[in-house]
Amino acid sequence: MLSKNYLNVIFIYSIYCFYLTQCQITNEYNQLLSNELDYIDVKYIPTIIHNDNVYLPIIYKCSSLSRRRISLSIRIERTLYRYNFAVFRRHWFCQNTTQMKIRYIRVRLHRSLAYASDSQSNFQSLPIEQGQLHLIMYNNEQENENEILRKVLYTIRFLPVHKRPSFRSFRWNPLVNKTTENICLKESEIVRVINYPLVMTGNAYGKYFTLPQYQQYSLRLEQQMRLTRPKFSIIFWLYIDEYCTSEYFRNYCGILQHLTFNNTHLTPEIFLSQEGRIRVNLYGSLYALEGTGAETIASVPRHDWCRVALIVDEYHWKIYINCVQTWDKPIIASHTSSIYYYSNDELGTFIVGGSDITHAFRGFISQMDIYRRIALTYEQLPKKLDMSSMPFLPSIVPQSNECKYYIHLFKQCYEQFILFNKRIQQKFTCNARPFVFNKSNQQCLLIRTWKQKLSSGDIRYRIFRALRRQIMNSTTDVANKLFDLTIKLLENDNIDISCNQIITWSEQAMCYGHPSAHSLLATFYQFGLCGIKRNSTRVYAGAPICLSSKYIADAISNEEALELLFSGALYNDRISLLALGHRHYYGFDGFPLDYDAAYVYYRQMSVISRHEYYNPKSGEAAMEFIHLTDEKLIEELTFDKSDSFYWLKQQATQGVVSAQSYLGGLMYNGRNGLTRNIQAAVEYFRLGAAQNDASSHFSYGLALLKGQGVKQNITEAIIQLEKAVEHGYLGALVSLGYHAYEMEKNYTKAVRYWKDCFDRIHDIHCAYNLGIMWTAGHYPPHYVVDHVQAWYYYSFAALHGQIDAKTVVAYYNARGGHPVIIRNASLSAIWARNVAEESSGVGTIARRALEAYRDRRWQTSFIFYLQTALAGVKLGYFNAGYLCKDFKNESSYDCIEEFLNKYLIIHGDNTNVDSYALSTVADYYQWNKINLTKVIQLYAQLYRNGDPQGLYNLAQMEENSNSNDTIPMDIWIDIGIKFDEKIVSNRYRKLQAIYQHCRKLKTAKSDESYIPCTLAYIKVSIIIFLNEQSKIVITITLTILTTYLYFY
C-alpha cells in the first residue's frame, strides 16, 4: 500500500514539474513575442530524426476568433517514382489564444526511412538521409495554398541506411526478419571500357558499348536525382597519327559519342578537331538538338601517347591532357555552363571512335575508364597506364628510324633524278642569247659517285635507275614493286636461299607504305620463319625455314608480330584486321575476350570485303574453303592451265551456251581454281546473250550497267536485263529495281520490281533492297521509317547469304537500342566475320597456297596458309596443320596445338568438322595423356561425323584401361550404342558388343573399318571363350570331387 501511494506521488510530481516547465517556456515566449498576433515555430529539432520516442515541441499563437489550421509535415524531394511527397503528417486547430501555447508531436516516420531493408519480407529501405520539415498556419480550417498565413521550413536529417534498426513485424518472429544479406550489393563504380589498345583507322566504325543498370536501389535513386546535376569522370589514353582523315567529315572526328537508336545526341560526347583540339559536347535536356560545346585552345600532339581526363561536376567541366614526352606541362581547359547538363548513362549506346555521323581519327586508343558518379581531382588521376592486361603500347612501325632512313634514300634518289633530268633538258635546249653568261656552280650529281662506289644491287642505285626508266614515280610505286618481288621470291619455293632478301624487301615495302607487307612480315615473326626466333630476334639470314625446330617454341614473345599487326591494321591491311579481330573474339595470344572490339576490326574488314565483291579486279580470286585432305575436289578444280580449263574454253569458243555461261561465271568470280579475268568473263556473257541465254543476258546487262569489263551503256543494259526477265530469269528484277530506285528515283516502280521478285522467288537481294526502302522511309504509299519491317527483310536476306544484309544485321546487333533489335555483341562479331572472311584479298592468298600445293611447292604453300592462319581463317589453321607433318621434327606436336586445336576451337561444337583434325588432336592428347575427357569427346564426335575410327578408338581406350567405366555410359548412349543389362558389368561382353556394332556400320568409310573391327572382335571373343571355358573345367572337376567324397 505504501509503494502504491509512493508511485502516485511521483507521478503527480512529474506532471507538476512538466506543467511548470511548460509554463516557464510559454511565459518566456509571451514576453519576447508579445506584439505577435499569430505565431508558429519549432522550439527544438533533434540532430537526427528517427522513430525512437522523438518529440517535436511546437509553439503557436492564434489571434482569430475562428479556427485556424496548423499543419506539420516532413517531406522528401524525390524517389525513383515520386516527387516532393510527405512521409509524416499531423494537423490541429487553434483559435483566440492570447498566450503562447506548446504542443509536443511524436514523430512516426514511414518505415522505409526509419528501418533497414529486409529481403525476406520484401522491404526496401530508401537511401535518403535528408528531408524538409514544413510547419504552416492557414487563415481558416482548409488546407489551401492561397490561405497560408505563416510558414516555417527546416532541413532535417534521417538515420543513415547502414545505422537503421531492423523492422520487427507483428506477424513474424523477429529472428525470421533478421537481415541475412549484405546491405549494399557490390557494384562497380569504375567501368573499364577499353583495356587493350584499339586501332582507329579514321573510318565510320567504332566500339559500341552500354553501361549496366544499377541493381541497388540507392544507386538508382542517386542516379535519378543527378540526371540534371551529373558527376562523372572519363579517362583514356590515345595516340594520334592523323587528326581527321575523312574527306566528308573534316571538321571534327569522333573519340567518344553517345547516341540513341535514331542518332539523337546525348551527354557526354568528345570530338577531335581538324587542328587537334579536344571538343566536349554536353546537352541540357534529353532531346536537345543543340548542346553546349567548348574545346581546348591547345592541340593534342601527334605521335605521342597522351592521357586525357574529362571531369564533369554538375554544370562545370575540366579536361586535363598529359603526354608522355611533356608530362609535367599538361594542357588544361575548363568550362562553366549557365545551365545544368542532362546525363543518363543508361540511355542509348556509347561509341568509341567513328559512327555513321562522324568518322574517327587515325591512331590508337587504350585503357578507357568511366567513373560513373565520381568527379575526380587532378591529384586523383592515374599517373600511368595499367600494363597488366597488355604487353606493350603499339606504335606506327613505318615511322621508325629505320623506315625514315629508307624514305630519306628515296627522297635523295628522287632529287638526283630531278636534277639529272634538268641537266638533260638543258643539254638539248637551244639558247638564242648572242652573248655568254657566267655559269653558276653546278650541283654535284651523286649518281656518278654511286656508279663508281656502289654495286648494282644497292637500293639507292636501283631506285634511281627505276626512276630514270620511269618504272616508279612515287614511294607507293616502290612499295608495290618491292612487295611484288617478295611474292615472286616466295612463289619460287627457294625460300631457304632467299630468306634474307625476303625479309629485307618486306621491311622496305612496309616502310614505303605497302599495307600487306605488315602482315607478311608478322607471319615470319609469329611463326619463327627464316631464322627469326619467336622472341622477335633475327638469328641469321640463311637459316632454313623448314629444317629449323625454332619456328614453333613453347615460350613465345610475339610483341614484334603484334606491333606489325597493329600498324598494318592502321593502314587497312586485310590480314592484320582479321588477325586482331580474331584474337579479341577468341582471346588468343593474351588478348582479352572482347566481342565489341572484335566487331570493330571485323566490321572494317567486312566493308573492304563488300567493296571487293561489287568491284572485282582481274588477277584476284574468291575465297574458297578447300581442305587439302579433299583430294577428289582438288583434282576437279579448273586451274588456269589444267586440261579441264582448256576443254571448257574450247567448248565456249565453239558456241556451247552452257560452257560460255559457266566459264564466264568462274572467270568473273575467280572460283574453282581460276583467277579473275573480268574482260574475258564479260565477253563470254556477251556471246551467251547473243544466243538468248537468260543468265548471260542478266550477267552481260549487269556488266553494262556498272561498266565492269566493258564500257558503261545504261540503255543497252536495261534491254539486256528485260530480255533476261522475258526468258525466265527473274533475278534480273533486282537490277531493274536498282535502276528505278537509284537513277530514276521512281520508288513505286522499284518496289513493284523488288516485291514481285521477292514474292515469286524469295530473292535475297530483293529482300535486302526492300529493307533499305523501309529504313530510308521510301516505301510507298506511306513513306514512313519502319525498322521492324526493315529488320524482317534484313534478317531473311542475311540468313540466306546476302552480303549487304549480313553487314546491316551485324551493325544492328552491335548497336541495339531498339525494342525489336536487341544488342548482341557476340552475334554482331559473328555476322561481320562471316562477311570479312569472304574477302578476295584473303582468297588470293589462299589461292596462291592451293596452287603451290598442287605444284608440290610445299614451303610456299605452307607460308601462305600460315598467313591465312594468322588472320584466324579456319581454312588456314587446318591446312597449315595438315602441312605441318611434312616439316615435323621432335617438336611437331606443337603444330597440333598451334593449328589443328585452334581449328577445333573455332568450330566450337565440332560439328561438320574435318575428321583429320579430330583424330589427330585426339591422338595427340591421348598419347601425351592430356585431358582424357576431351579425348573421349573428340573420338565420339569423330564417330558421329561418320568415321568408324572414332568408335574403334573409344573401344581401344576401354580395352586398354584397367576399369570397366573408362568411357562414361552417357557417351555410349549419345553415340547410339545401348548395352543389355546383363552385359553392362561384364567388360569383355561390352567390348564384344561395341566391336560387333563397328563391323556392321554402313558409312563411307565402313570398308576401311571392317577388318580392324573384325580382328578386335575375334580377339575379345577368344578371351571370353577362354575365360568361360576355364570356368566350365573347374565346375566339372569340383562336381567329380564332391561326388567322390560323398560316396567314398
Cell of residue 121, nine digits: 519480407
pLDDT given at position 669 = 81
pLDDT in tens, 766-792: 999 999 999 999 999 988 999 999 999
> Does the pLDDT value for residue 519 go beyond 50?
yes
Mean pLDDT computed over 9-13: 51
Residues with Cβ within 8 Å of 792's Cβ and at least 6 positions away in sequence, in order, are: 771
> Does the pLDDT value for residue 690 go beyond 90?
no
Mean pLDDT computed over 128-142: 90
> Does the pLDDT value for residue 560 go beyond 70?
yes
**Global pTM?**
0.81
Mean pLDDT computed over 861-879: 93
Distance of CA 622 to the CA centre of its chain: 26
> Does the pLDDT value for residue 722 go beyond 50?
yes
pLDDT in tens, 905-930: 888 766 678 888 888 888 888 888 88
CB atoms within 10 A of CB 1048: 5
CB atoms within 10 A of CB 33: 14
| Residue 467 banded pLDDT, cuts 50, 70, 90 | low
| Residue 517 banded pLDDT, cuts 50, 70, 90 | very high
pLDDT in tens, 377-399: 999 998 877 766 666 677 777 77
| Residue 573 banded pLDDT, cuts 50, 70, 90 | very high
pLDDT given at position 307 = 94
Q: How much helix, strand and coil, in percent to the nearest 5, is found in the chain?
A: 50, 15, 40
Mean pLDDT computed over 692-696: 87
> Does the pLDDT value for residue 268 go beyond 60?
yes
| Residue 663 banded pLDDT, cuts 50, 70, 90 | confident
- In the chain, pLDDT over 70 holds for what percent of residues? 82
Phi first, then psi: give them for residue 815, nearest 5 degrees. -90, -50
Top-ranked range on mean pLDDT: pick from 9-18, 336-345, 975-984: 336-345
Residues with Cβ within 8 Å of 675's Cβ and at least 6 positions away in sequence, in order, are: 618, 619, 620, 621, 640, 847
> Does the pLDDT value for residue 465 go beyond 80?
no
Mean per-residue pLDDT over the chain, rounded: 82
> Does the pLDDT value for residue 499 go beyond 90?
no
| Residue 168 banded pLDDT, cuts 50, 70, 90 | low
Contact 750, 734 (CB under 8 A): no
Top-ranked range on mean pLDDT: pick from 539-553, 791-805, 972-986: 791-805
pLDDT given at position 322 = 93
Cell of residue 40, nine digits: 508558429
| Residue 541 banded pLDDT, cuts 50, 70, 90 | very low
pLDDT in tens, 44-67: 888 888 888 889 999 998 888 889
DSSP 589-635: GG----HHHHHHHHHHHHHHHHHHHHS--TT--------TT-HHHHH
In Å, how far are 561, 578, 579 from 565, measured between CA atoms? 6, 10, 7
Closest CA to 620 of 545, 516, 548, 540: 516
Q: Which residue has the higher pLDDT, 482 or 9?
A: 482
313-317, 411-415, 511-515, 903-907: the lowest-pLDDT one: 411-415
Mean pLDDT computed over 270-287: 91
> Does the pLDDT value for residue 536 go beyond 70?
no
pLDDT given at position 522 = 92
Can you tell me the distance from the alpha carbon of 470 to that of 275, in angstroms, rounded to the nearest whole number? 37
Can you tell me the distance from the alpha carbon of 989 to that of 734, in angstroms, rounded to the nearest whole number? 64
Cis geometry, peptide bond prior to residue 268 (ω within 30 degrees of 0)? yes
- Helices 499-511 and 475-491, packing angle to 10 deg: 150
> Does the pLDDT value for residue 197 go beyond 70?
yes
Contact 406, 511 (CB under 8 A): yes
Top-ranked range on mean pLDDT: pick from 63-77, 124-138, 267-281: 267-281
pLDDT given at position 222 = 79
304-308, 687-691, 717-721, 884-888: the lowest-pLDDT one: 884-888
Distance of CA 273 to the CA centre of its chain: 26
Can you tell me the distance from the alpha carbon of 999 to that of 1011, in angstroms, rounded to the nearest whole number? 8
E-only strand ranges, 48-162: 55-61, 68-78, 83-94, 101-106, 130-138, 148-157
Helix (H, G, I), strand (E, B) or coil at 986: coil
| Residue 130 banded pLDDT, cuts 50, 70, 90 | confident
Mean pLDDT computed over 807-821: 91
- In the chain, pLDDT over 90 holds for what percent of residues? 33
Bridge partners, 282 (sequence order): 292
> Does the pLDDT value for residue 641 go beyond 50?
yes
pLDDT given at position 310 = 96
Q: Which residue has the higher pLDDT, 476 or 640?
A: 476
pLDDT given at position 897 = 82
> Does the pLDDT value for residue 553 go beyond 60?
no
194-203, 220-229, 730-739: the lowest-pLDDT one: 220-229
Closest CA to 606 of 834, 813, 874, 871: 834
195-199, 424-428, 470-474, 901-905: the lowest-pLDDT one: 424-428
pLDDT given at position 758 = 93
DSSP 746-765: -HHHHHHHHHHHHHHH--HH
Residues with Cβ within 8 Å of 789's Cβ and at least 6 positions away in sequence, in order, are: 771, 774, 779
